[in-house]
Chains A and B, each alone.
Chain A
Amino acid sequence: MGQTLAEKVWDAHLVRRAEGEPDLLYIDLHLVHEVTSPQAFDGLRLAGRGVRRPDLTLATEDHNVPTTGLLIEDPISRKQVETLRANCAEFGIRLHPMGDAGQGIVHVIGPQLGVTQPGTTVVCGDSHTSTHGAFGALAFGIGTSEVEHVLATQSLPLVRPRTMAVTVTGALQPGVTSKDLVLALITQVGTGGGQGHVVEYRGEAIRALSMEGRMTVCNMSVEWGARAGMIAPDETTYAYLEGRPHAPKGQDWDAAVAYWQTLRTDDDAVFDKEIFLDASTVRPFVTWGTNPGQGVALDGVVPDPQALPAGSQREAAERALTYMDLQAGTPMREIAVDTVFLGSCTNGRMEDLRAAAEVVRGRRVAPGVRAMVVPGSMLVKLQAEQEGLDAVFQEAGFDWRNAGCSMCLGMNPDVLQPGERSASTSNRNFEGRQGRGARTHLVSPEVAAATAVVGRLAAPADLTEV
């Protein structure tokens, strides 16, 4: 019987397999940031251990960094960033600190440097490590104990996950994005639908996506419980990687591509579970609730909890509507926002910024709405400035910021006030995620841009010609 993509990558990294024990898997790339690493480095010191492979480890500052300058005012945040710097210096780990041209969100800089490659294993103390699966890597988030484990041993004991296929047939309609696709998927399958599985996204609608669109989809795998999301590499993948600083060169490139071509699920392989989705039915999609599975088409209305089966789902919906201060039956387009946040590792890359800039070009942010663009990395910022996108956004009334996680989780000063409402291109609308009492609607970059202009949730098609 053939193998799935995930099984091939898994088996290629087996250091040790023994009856009755988890597999020991080799890790090709370990990404590190300031939030989930300090206790891991402390653990190493306490045990008198070193970092086995600093040359397979890469660190950046992203969660705490301010987006308006280089001074971290909060002393606790500052200490955390300084701790990362000291740890990287002590253990010889490459770090992209604030102010460095290579700094950015950990899941944006890996692909940008070309260190995220097909068939590799990638881990990071961050659940959205699933992003890197867009390249056909087996990439997943780990906790701090596992961060310490990988630092010390460059390997992890893991129980082989089950596999799942999400086959997306058909084509996305014009104006519908990969973000809409994945939000619609999560609403269909629920936040726990992928639990315990590595998911492979396949089918013509996935093949048609750019690398950036694929990253958006894989990024959100964890939002429906999947351990990782993967997409088999193809010409789109190779074209994205070729020439990147850490991509293979010359003969190595040829050898790498020859290997990458084998990284596909065999025709006779069997997944433990399969899901099908027709891309042509997906419409621009937004969330109304407090988890990413509580979503609805922008054309729709706030759902009525009474229409849900009695029990935890109904209770969760009722609680979400109270928290979100929404009435069942309200058309989504009538929901006014205070803030629009364009950024994060879900939608903070060039393609996202370009798409949003096209929507706001020549238009103005609605009065009373605060709109901000936080590029996913300083390189994205630079490239956007070279293309003149900063001017487009600023003329429309957006703030143009430095790179970081920013309002995706509000560890830096970019937070919503209690009761404020945002349209956000990030990945989590949990209670309090963007600030205590903050209300978040997850949207695509295009919907975020149109919403900024209208002041209420909107799609580009709703805008009048300029």
Chain B
Amino acid sequence: MDAFTTHTGRAAVLRRSDVDTDQIIPSDWLKRVERTGFGAGLFSEWRDDPDFALNRPESAGASILLAGKDFGTGSSREHAVWALQDYGFRAVVSPRFGDIFRSNALKGGLLPVQLDAEVVEALMQRVEADPSLEVVVDLGARELRAGDLVSPFPLDDFTRWRLMEGLDDIGLTLRNEGDIAAFEVGRSAHLPTTTLGA
């Protein structure tokens, strides 16, 4: 995973709440066995509409997505994160995220920036008034800045450190392999296995 420290870019405004993962990447895109190439499927059922947020000329090249409440609800498909990243987004801003989406995003280095609904609204209005507005997502300071708007966002220390270092979660866990092995020794005999004939 690439390290994430500070990202500066323009924002696109998606004025919708409850943007579920089926909308972000519809299921026919989930048949692929690769991790790349999902950008073309991003919001694919909405993309035919020339008025759709991402089709508007001012959204071209945006790397930060501003969305309504409960972004990324629904399925566990990490393909939603891959699609947003493949399209060019580095961060998504919303008042609230679906839990699994948020966790997937943090694994892959797409930053979910949670801000109060009023702050998101204020940010949307600024970007709508001036689509060229530079938005800064500063992970070190856990702060989003856009013109005169400055707002902190929550993220735990550990995740921030992992993102800023670009560390692989599995590698981190395997440092504690001894603990896993010790735990396995103590597991109860009545616990199931999936082995055939068990």
Binding site for B on A (CB under 8 A): 15-16, 20-22, 24, 26, 28-29, 35-36, 38-39, 42, 47, 49, 52, 55-58, 63-64, 74, 76-77, 79-80, 83, 94, 113-115, 117, 120, 125-127, 129, 140-146, 148-149, 152-155, 157, 159, 191-192, 195-196, 222, 225, 227, 245-248, 252-253, 255-256, 259, 291, 312-313, 315-316, 319, 409-411, 428, 430-433, 436
Contacts and interface: CB of A to CB of B under 8 A. Distances in A.
A117 B76 contact: no
Contacts of A58: 194
Contacts of A195: 70, 96, 98-99
A56 B193 contact: yes
A152 B22 contact: no
A409 B27 contact: yes
A234 to B, nearest CB: 18
Contact of B180 (A15, A22, A436): A15
B108 interface: yes
B129 interface: no
Nearest to A228: B99
Interface stretch (B5-13, B50-58, B167-175): B167-175
A77 B28 CA distance: 9
A21 B159 CA distance: 8
Contacts of B179: 15-16, 24
A225 B73 contact: yes
Given A55-B193, A192-B69, A246-B192, A146 B107 contact: yes
Contact of A39 (B20, B33, B98): B33
Contacts, number: 203
B31 A80 contact: yes
Contacts of B18: 191, 291, 316
A256 B189 CA distance: 9
Size bracket, chain B contacts: 35 or more
Given A21-B158, A157-B172, A428 B74 contact: yes
A109 to B, nearest CB: 10
30 contacts: A16-B176, A28-B192, A35-B77, A36-B77, A56-B193, A58-B194, A79-B33, A94-B194, A140-B100, A142-B76, A143-B81, A143-B104, A144-B78, A146-B104, A153-B170, A153-B174, A157-B172, A196-B99, A222-B100, A225-B98, A246-B192, A246-B198, A312-B68, A316-B18, A411-B28, A430-B74, A431-B45, A432-B22, A432-B23, A432-B26
Nearest to B35: A39
A76 B157 contact: no
A80 B33 contact: yes
A56 B198 CA distance: 12
Contacts of B31: 35, 64, 74, 76-77, 79-80, 411
Nearest to B182: A15
Contacts of B158: 20-22
B103 interface: yes
Contacts of B77: 35-36, 143
A218 to B, nearest CB: 16
Given A411-B28, A432-B23, A192 B100 contact: no
A259 B173 contact: no
Nearest to B17: A312
Contact of B183 (A26, A29, A56): A26
Contacts of A227: 99
Main secondary structure of the interface of B (DSSP, over half): loop
Given A145-B78, A149-B169, A154-B184, 4 more contacts: A36-B30, A126-B75, A141-B75, A411-B31
Contacts of B68: 312
Contacts of A52: 180
Of the listed residues A79, A192, A246, the one surrounded by the most CB atoms of chain B closer than 10 A to its CB is: A192
Contacts of A319: 16
Contacts of B16: 315-316, 319
Interface string B106-138: 011000000000000000000000000000000
Contacts of A154: 180, 184
Contact of B35 (A42, A56, A315, A316): A42
10 shortest interchain CB distances as A-B pairs: A143-B104, A143-B78, A38-B33, A145-B107, A141-B76, A252-B190, A256-B190, A58-B194, A312-B17, A144-B78
Contacts of B148: none
Interface string B30-69: 1111110000000001000000000000000000000011
B96 A192 contact: yes
A112 to B, nearest CB: 13
B194 A127 contact: no
B156 A192 contact: no
A316 B174 contact: no
B174 A125 contact: no
B79 to A, nearest CB: 8
Contacts of B108: 145
B22 A430 contact: yes
Contacts of B180: 15, 24, 26, 52, 153-155
A316 B17 contact: yes
A333 B193 CA distance: 48
A157 B23 contact: no
Of the listed residues B100, B183, B192, the one surrounded by the most CB atoms of chain A closer than 10 A to its CB is: B192
A55 B184 CA distance: 13
Nearest to A196: B99
A20 B157 contact: yes
Contacts of A410: 27-28
B192 A117 contact: yes
A259 B104 contact: no
A247 to B, nearest CB: 8
